[in-house]
Amino acid sequence: MSGLEPFGARLRRAMDERGPLCVGIDPHASLLAEWGLNDDVAGLERFSRTVVEAVADRVAVLKPQSAFFERFGSRGVAVLEQSVAEARAAGALVVMDAKRGDIGSTMAAYAESFLHKDAPLFSDALTVSPYLGYGSLAPAVALARESGAGLFVLALTSNPEGGEVQHAVRPDGRNVGATMLAHLAAENAGEEPLGSFGAVVGATLGDLSTYDLAINGPLLAPGIGAQGATPADLPRVFGAAVGNVVPNVSRGVLRHGPDVVALRDAAARCADDIRQAVTSS
């Protein structure tokens, strides 16, 4: 299977050209209502198409949350397929936020769903959970390499509950989150200009100086906006790795819909704030 240029290289170019902003596509019921849309497939389609129309030609990354489409069954998944295809056609990279994680043939099937070049839901990268052991992700790692896609592995997440797993200390004295970062650094070793295997690291976590975030890969950073982090926090949280951070903003942009111009303006303001925070650090 002939693949694309590696995700890391494509992401680095998109971040350099468009800025690092990632806009989430999170059509949950309350946002649909705020937009004056019904909580049904027609509302879902209108919402998703509007977000793609507004920003897919100007932001580096769009990140649809699969669950908000899956809840409508096969018709919702069809809308997700359409959104992914239209976003990629407009030049955005698509990170599918599905947080898949399993073992053996099941993990391989999840990987085929999102990372095979001929899959209806083929995305540039996929979020995955390593908490059945990092080695359980091997089928996804292999297919991502083959297809030119990437992974974002949950490492240090922004939800408070994550700490009970991610901060657990292993017999070697290193905690689980740090172990995931070390695995990713090994995956990305020698890759230029950027590896394709990233970590999810919350922008709300404060000082992370005790962690080695230099994984030669991207750091997907949720938590800006509704969860309390701001672009100005990025240099403090990520330190020298801030240049590889992909900050995710969802509600901070989406609440300005359904007006396309208002969505574009909100995304532009977020992108400018992020660019200023990162370049002035």
Active site members: 99
Antiparallel, parallel or unpaired: β 150-156 and 197-201: parallel
Give the whole-angstrom CA distance, residue 234 versus residue 134.
Answer: 27
* Residue 126 dihedral angles phi and psi, to the nearest 5°: -135, 135
Tokens of 135: 């080695």
End-to-end CA distance of the chain: 42
Cα(10)–Cα(15) distance, rounded to whole angstroms?
A: 9
Establish whether the linkage from the previous residue to 231 is cis, with ω within 30° of 0. Answer: no
DSSP notation for 62-101: EEEBHHHHHTTTHHHHHHHHHHHHHHHHTT-EEEEEEEE-
Return the structure tokens found at 166: 């991610």
Residues 6+ apart with CB under 8 A from 104: 136, 139
Q: What is the C-alpha separation between 147 and 83, in angstroms, rounded? A: 20
Q: What is the CA radius of gyration of the chain?
A: 18
